[in-house]
Each structure stands twice: as C-alpha cells, then as structure tokens.
C-alpha cells in the first residue's frame, strides 16, 4: 500500500518515480484490469523486459501487486494506492496518455484475445477425437435416478461448458430438465451424438458465451436448482466474471458446483488443452463465489481414481460448492 511505501521512502522519491510517462501509462492500464506482463508489453508497444523492469519499480513502491500463474506474471493496481493524492493525479495523467495513444481502449480486446487458442482448440477437438464411448453400465440411469431422490429440488440443472456432454450422463437422469451450454458448435455437435446415443430427451443445447449476457440467452425464469461448471473457469479469460454470470443463474436455495484444477505448475496443459489458468486455490474460488453474491459452502479434493486418463490426470482436481441463501443450509465439508 502507498501509505506503507511512503513511510519507507521520502515523498520526493514518489514524485521522481511517477515522472516517467511509461510508468504512468503502465499504472493506468494496470488500474483498468489485471494484465499479464506480455499483455502490457503489447499495449504499451514495449519489450517485455522493459515493462518488467518498470513494473518491478512500481511494485517495490507498493503501487502494483503481482500474481504468478506458471510463467505468467499478472499485475494490477494495489487496491488502496489511489487514495494517495499524488498517485491519483498520476493515474489521471496516465489514463489521458493511454486514451491519446489508444491503448486504454484496447484493454478489453487484449483480454478477450487470451482465449483465442482455447477457442481454436475446442473448435477442432471434435475433428481429431472419436465418438463418445458407448461403454456404460446399462443400468446407470436407474442408479443416478435413485440417488437423485435425495435432492431437495431437481426441476432444472445447467451444465455450463458442457463440451461433448460427459456430465449429462449424470445430470439427465437426475433432473426434470437440463440446459447444456457451450460456445463451441463443434463441441455441441459431439454432444448431440451423445444425447442421441444415450436417449436423453430432456436436455436442451444452447450455444452461448459464459458472460454477462448468459441469462438473457436462456429460458430459466426463476433460475436453476443446480449449476455445474466442470473444468470451465481455467479456460475463461476472466474467471471471476464467468463465475458471476453463472451465479446469476442460481435460484434461491439453489447450488453452484465448480469442478476445476487446484493450483499447479504444469505449463504443458496450456499447449495440450489450451488452458489459460493453471488452476485456482481455495481462497481464489471463495473470493469469486462471495463476489458473485453466493454463500461459500466449502471445497474438497477429487480422489485420483476419478480423474480419468487424460493429460490433466496428473494435476489435483477440486470441487467447490456455493449456494444462494434462502432455501436451506447445505454444507460441504472436507472428508
């Protein structure tokens, strides 16, 4: 925080630090959104080493915070720094410079471009894959249907980022109606094959982005009893905003379940599966959940035998549960 920094440094050092136009622009862009050093370099039309050098100076002064994601370093304005009058004035000047050179207007475009590789990966994944496996116990539906009798409400479930529809084998027998969402037509095509193969007649497929426009694209009325986000957030350009959009689909007393990777350092998944983020820790997910207006109910690790045989089987998976208050006291505890 600036107050701490200014105790360490004389005020004239802060003025000197903020006399460099590049630092002013960097600070202004980092106040707009959390951005990777590579993204800031693109926006500023500077080399990454030069951006890193100036960012390090701003971090040391307490004006920027950083967050590591594998080889990525993400930067954002320190939350309380703008309270300082000198910093506030510097931000205003930096924003004016960025508006003049067009970099401020390009922040949204740069953030959206994060998942370009992810989109391309899922658009072609069906072509290189095989048809959904028909190998499944012939009585699986009866077992799921029996277990679903324990659910207090099961009118509507939403499978966000359904992919080829693997989760629908569990959701379709358990809920009266299921909406499966994906932004990739290639994935939805594979999903249609699965539905036809399994005979799930209560599933509606929707091609949509998981963003602020999502609820308007769906016919959910009062909201869903259950929303599943299975391995979705690590592909989202802005995970907190994606979770906020999903939270908006949860009815009073309903639940949101996030199945995703725990924080890891396997950079290979960025190439193999077009992952954007190398998982999340419990604190990050809790901040996302509570920022979206839901009540945090806990998280637990998924046992290794349930993680399949894909390239992501070597990283830890976790499941987190959140509810919209007003319809019960579901608790999800560690075991």
Domain-embedded: residue 334: no
Both 153 and 74 in a single domain? no
Lookup: tokens for 74: 């993400």
- Whether residues 151 and 297 share a domain: the answer is yes
Q: Which two tokens stand for residue 35?
A: 């951005």
Same domain flag for 45 and 176: no
The verdict on 279 and 224 lying in the same domain is: yes
Cα distance between residue 286 and residue 223, in whole Å: 22
Rounded CA separation 74/2 (Å): 19
What token pair was written down for 314?
A: 């070597």
Residues 45, 46, 51, 52: what is their CA dihedral angle, to the nearest 10 degrees?
120
Residue 62 within a domain: yes
| 179 within domain boundaries | yes
Does 212 reside within a domain?
A: yes
Residue 304 lies in a domain: yes
Residue 27 near residue 55 (C-beta atoms within 8 A): no
Which residues, in sequence order, are bridge partners of residue 156?
177
pLDDT in the model for residue 330: 40
Q: What's the pLDDT score for residue 184?
A: 93
CATH of the domain at 43: 1.10.10.10
At residue 106, the pLDDT reads: 96
Whole-angstrom distance, CA of residue 118 vs CA of residue 196: 27
Under 8 Å between Cβ of 160 and 232: yes
In angstroms, the CA 229 to CA 220 distance is 17
**Helix, strand or coil for residue 152?**
coil
Token code pair at residue 97 = 């410079």
From 105, 125, 157, the end of a domain falls on 105
Q: Residue 6 has what pLDDT?
A: 44
Residue 90 inside a domain? The answer is: yes
Quote the pLDDT of residue 1: 47
Paired strand residues for 179: 158, 204
Domain boundary (105, 123, 138) is at 105
Phi, psi of 166 (to 5 degrees): -55, -40
Strands 35-36 and 317-323, how do they pair?
unpaired
Burial letters 292-330, b for 16+ CB under 10 A, else e: bebebbebeeeeeeeeeeeebeebebbbbbbbbeeeeee
User: Does a structural domain hold residue 78?
Assistant: yes
Q: What is the pLDDT of residue 334?
A: 39
The CA distances from residue 12 to 7, 16, 80, 248, 313, in Å, are: 12, 6, 20, 48, 53
Residue 181's Cβ-side half-sphere holds a number of Cα atoms within 13 Å equal to 25
Work out how many domains the chain is built from and give that number.
2
Average pLDDT per run of 10 along the chain, which is 335 residues long?
49 86 96 95 96 95 93 93 91 96 95 89 66 67 89 94 94 96 94 93 95 82 92 96 96 96 95 94 96 97 93 96 73 39
* Interatomic CA distance for residues 257 and 278, integer angstroms: 19
pLDDT of residue 7: 47
Q: Are residues 101 and 120 in the same domain?
A: no
Considering the domain architecture, whether residues 97 and 120 belong to the same structural domain is answered as: no
pTM score of the predicted model: 0.80
pLDDT tens-digit series, residues 321-330: 999 987 544 4
Place of tokens 């007003």: 326
What CATH number does residue 296 fall under?
3.40.50.150
Question: Do both 71 and 156 map to the same domain?
Answer: no
With vertex at residue 10, the alpha carbon angle to CA 8 and CA 11, rounded to the nearest 5 degrees, is 120
Same domain, 140 and 198: yes
- Statement to judge: residues 100 and 134 lie in one domain: no
What radius of gyration, in Å, describes the C-alpha atoms of the chain?
Answer: 23
**58 and 207 within one domain:** no
Same domain, 208 and 165: yes
Cα dihedral 169→327→335→243 (10° resolution): 60
Is 97 found in the same domain as 120? no
Q: Is the dihedral of CA 32, 39, 265, 322 positive or negative?
A: positive
Domain of 209 in residue numbering reads as 115-323
Query: Which residues of 79-185 form beta strands (DSSP E)?
Result: 156-160, 177-182
Task: Kindly tell me the sign of the dihedral angle through the C-alpha atoms of 311, 313, 318, 323.
Answer: positive
**Which of 105, 131, 166 is where one domain is finished?**
105
Residue 178 lies in a domain: yes
Q: What is the pLDDT of residue 238?
A: 95
Q: Residue 10 has what pLDDT?
A: 66
Is residue 301 within a helix (H) or strand (E), and if so which, with residue range?
A: strand 295-301
Q: Pick the closest to residue 198 from 133, 276, 115 (CA basis).
A: 133
């Amino acid at each position: 925080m600036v107050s701490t920094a200014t105790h360490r440094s004389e005020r004239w050092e802060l003025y000197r630090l903020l006399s460099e136009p590049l630092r002013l622009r960097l600070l202004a862009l980092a106040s707009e959104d959390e951005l990777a050093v590579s993204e800031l370099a693109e926006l500023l039309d500077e080399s990454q080493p030069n951006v890193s050098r100036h960012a390090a100076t701003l971090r040391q002064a307490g004006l920027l915070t950083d967050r590591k994601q594998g080889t990525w370093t993400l930067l954002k304005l320190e939350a309380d720094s703008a309270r300082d009058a000198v910093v506030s004035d510097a931000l205003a000047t930096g924003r004016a410079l960025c508006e003049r050179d067009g970099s401020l207007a390009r922040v949204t475009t740069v953030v959206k471009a994060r998942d370009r590789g992810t989109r391309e990966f899922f658009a072609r994944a069906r072509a290189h894959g095989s048809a959904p496996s028909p190998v499944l116990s012939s009585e699986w539906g009866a077992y799921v249907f029996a277990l679903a009798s324990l659910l207090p409400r099961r009118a509507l479930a939403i499978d966000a980022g359904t992919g080829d529809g693997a989760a629908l084998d569990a959701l379709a027998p358990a809920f009266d109606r299921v909406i499966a969402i994906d932004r990739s037509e290639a994935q939805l095509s594979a999903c249609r094959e699965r539905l036809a193969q399994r005979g799930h007649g209560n599933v509606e497929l929707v091609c949509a982005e998981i963003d602020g426009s999502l609820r308007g694209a769906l016919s959910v009325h009062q909201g869903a009893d259950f929303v599943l986000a299975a391995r979705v957030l690590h592909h989202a350009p802005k995970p907190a905003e994606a979770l906020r959009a999903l939270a908006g689909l949860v009815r009073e007393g309903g639940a949101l379940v996030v199945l995703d990777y725990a924080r890891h350092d396997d950079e290979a998944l960025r190439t193999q599966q077009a992952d954007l983020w190398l998982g999340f820790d419990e604190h990050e997910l809790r901040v996302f959940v509570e920022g979206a207006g839901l009540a945090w109910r806990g998280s637990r690790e998924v046992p290794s035998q349930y993680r399949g045989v894909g390239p992501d089987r070597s990283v830890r998976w976790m499941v987190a549960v959140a509810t919209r208050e007003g319809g019960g006291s579901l608790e999800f505890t560690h075991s």
